[in-house]
Amino acid sequence: MNSLSGKPWIWSFAATVVVWVVTVLFTGGSSSLGLTQAALTFAAFSIVVGIGQMFVITLGPGNIDLSVPATMTLSGTVALKVMDVQDSMILLGLILAVAIGVTIGVANFALIKLLRIPPIIATLSMSFIVQSSAIWTNRGLRIKPPEALADFSTSYTLGVPNVAIVAAALSVIAWVLLEKTIYGRWISAIGQSPFAARMAGIPVDGTRFVTYVLCAVLASLCGYLLASFSGGAALNMGAEYLLMSIAVVVIGGTAVAGGNSNVPGIWGASLFMFLVVSMLNTYGFGAGVRLILTGLIIIGVILAAGGKPAAR
């Protein structure tokens, strides 16, 4: 138990279980299955963007991607417009969404490296450009996704939401990259000390470049899925995922100072965030009270998780 309690991600899962039990007890247990499926569905989108943000934050202090919401909006808008409600265009829409992510990731790093702009300013500036492109592309229209894609994103396989299965597959890939590849060791080393990593022969700039591109690609994939799930792309569809993508990383146990990432924690934190809002809605709290209580609960979880020093 002592070994388990020392894992940073265990606290987010513990908080998730507590909130789930409280909510189910209030409803008499009648909504347990529906609540679980809803939590997995809506948490999946936070998980996908959270993984990308986690990679960037692992690079160390100052590294963060604020262009995530705009990237989601542009990729979802353009992909749906190109697919034009045709099932035969689904693959092309996916390829285009990934290409948009790659382009934005390259542009972000170009601002950071070539113009020597701090990441928080570079990605914020890029978000305005990308969001403006989304507005120009969308022109206030809500284009529907192809029927097959909409059915996939809103359906279940063996009772598990398909979007959660996609998030799980991406999580496994992320875990393998972090724990089993040289790339994972490189970003951890850079997060602990960029100078020492450079002296050790690690390609710091190349690793950072790949990381920012990876984050943008995951945001694009999330936008593609979210637009399909919600029945169309909206200009504000990525807005809530700016703070959410950062919150799930922090609550999930990833070190804000860099050098230490945590894939399982992203799941616990994303489920926790959804269930907190669901619980407060169930108890009939107003929007203002919900925000205050959500903030206090998040602080409590972070304090509990920070009770033990992280292993180095």
Would you place residue 153 in the very low, low, confident or very high pLDDT band (cuts 50, 70, 90)? very high
DSSP state of 88: G
Among 156, 158, 171, smallest CA distance to 41 is for 156
Give me the residues paired with residue 276 across strands.
none
Can you say how many angstroms the Cα of residue 146 is from the centroid of all Cα atoms in its chain?
Answer: 24
Kindly list the distances between the CA atom of residue 40 and the CA atoms of 61, 101, 124, 154, 160, in Å, as whole numbers in the listed order.
31, 25, 30, 12, 8
- Residue count (the chain): 312
Q: Return the structure tokens found at 214.
A: 């990876």
Lowest mean pLDDT among 77-86, 243-252, 292-301: 292-301
- Answer positive or negative: Cα dihedral of 142, 146, 148, 149: negative
Q: Where are the domains of the chain?
A: 2-305
Lowest mean pLDDT among 13-22, 33-42, 262-271: 13-22
Q: Does residue 274 contact residue 39 with C-beta atoms inside 8 Å?
A: yes
Pairing of strands 156-157, 160-161: antiparallel
What CATH architecture applies to the domain 2-305? Orthogonal Bundle (1.10)
Q: Return the structure tokens found at 229.
A: 């799930």
Average pLDDT over residues 248-271: 86
Would you place residue 306 in the very low, low, confident or very high pLDDT band (cuts 50, 70, 90)? low
SS3 157: strand
Instruction: Return the H-helix or E-strand segment holding 300.
Output: helix 287-305
DSSP state of 89: G
Q: Is it the case that residue 310 has pLDDT exceeding 80?
A: no
Report if pTM > 0.85.
yes
The four Cα atoms 275, 279, 285, 287 give a dihedral, to 10 degrees, of 10
